Structure 1
Amino acid sequence: MARFLPEGESLLVRTDFTDDTAWAQTLAAVIASYDEDTETGLTPVDDVNFNGLTATELADLVDGQTYVFLADTTTMTDPEHPLLAVDTSDADARGDCDGVFRIAPFAMAEVEVNFFLSNMDFEDYANSVDDDGVFRGFDR
């Protein structure tokens, strides 16, 4: 089966299909994190062809995206549903992904919009996670 990421800068790719309710809750929380008039490039990808996709496998799929968000097994099983942010900025050149951190769904807009507008870098957020590796916002 061939996998192809859709076009878009801010992809949120579902990679675990074990719990449709957890996915619906996660996506609803992500969408609720945005203000009505917030400029965003978020594109949710709910395609079973991405079932089991790992951050490492993203390197073969990225086509200009400098970051991708994954809703993986941890997202579906952890009560907080933290998403995985993956730095793919050098994936084409190196053949792997640079770094990862997790985001609480309620903080998704803060991260995604700043990535989308190039206001902040991946490291700004990766270096600001809580002790458990999850970014929950700068004001918390």
Structure 2
Amino acid sequence: MRDLPQSEATLLIRTDFSDEAAWQALRTAVTTPGDGDGGFLAVLHIVDDPAYRDLPPEQIVALAPAEDDLLIIVDRKALAGTEMPLLAIYTGAEDEDGDEDEIGDGGSAPGFDELRVAAAEVWSVENNISLANMDWEEFVDAAAGDGVFRGF
């Protein structure tokens, strides 16, 4: 299995290839500014390669460049849901001293944390995490009871 590509943009990795129409709708959703978001877009490098079919998050993280703190996964759940809840993976957390924080609580494997993000809100998570405007925990705390972040 080859490593994921290095990019200045956040990787959006397709792991489900069961529904081409849903995939195209999701691509449109994450690459088109919405009416209520002020025209913001996520800065994404789309990885649409069957080599990554059905890989679990642990393998995706292992194949990602070490400097990538945020990865977005398009899995079966994302393509099946009306809100297209993508799986955001956060691998980098540091406290004020530059030490690694504990991440991975809530059922995630050690070394990364997961959050479902409605496709319409991917820009918010990607922009703010990439620019260090907000902390990951702010998005986790703002997620609905079902674990999906739908905005503030």
> Shorter chain as normaliser: what TM range?
0.7 to 0.9
Amino acid at match of 2:79: M
Question: 1:41: Cα distance to partner?
Answer: 3.1
What is the match of residue 83 of structure 1? 86
Cα offsets for 1:36-55 (capped at 9, x unmatched): 97575311111111101111
| TM-score normalised per structure 1 | 0.84
1:68 counterpart (63, 68, 71): 71
Deviating above 4 A after TM superposition, structure 1's stretches of 4 or more consecutive aligned residues are 34-40
Amino acid at match of 1:65: D
Where does structure 1 lack aligned partners over 5 or more consecutive residues?
none
Q: What CA distance in whole angstroms lies between the structure 2 residues aligned with 1:67 and 1:81?
A: 18
What is the match of residue 112 of structure 1? 126
What is the match of residue 100 of structure 1? 114
Matches within 5 A, 1:30-41: 30-33=30-33, 38=40, 41=43
Question: 1:120: Cα distance to partner?
Answer: 1.2
Cα offsets for 1:101-120 (capped at 9, x unmatched): 11111111111111121111
Cα offsets for 1:55-83 (capped at 9, x unmatched): 11123212210110000010111222110
Matched, 1:6 2:5: yes
Cα RMSD of the aligned pairs, angstroms, is 2.4
Q: Is the 8 A contact 2:70 2:126 kept in 1?
A: no
Where does structure 2 lack aligned partners over 5 or more consecutive residues?
94-99, 101-108
Cα offsets for 1:78-133 (capped at 9, x unmatched): 2221100001227xx9x954210111111111111111211112211112101111
Distance 1:49 1:72, change over 3 A: same
What is the match of residue 49 of structure 1? 51
Q: What CA distance in whole angstroms lies between the structure 2 residues aligned with 1:103 and 1:24?
A: 18
Amino acid at match of 1:100: E
How many pairs are equivalent?
135
Amino acid at match of 2:18: T
| TM-score normalised per structure 2 | 0.78
The 3-state SS of whatever aligns with 2:142 is coil
Structure ID, larger Rg: 2
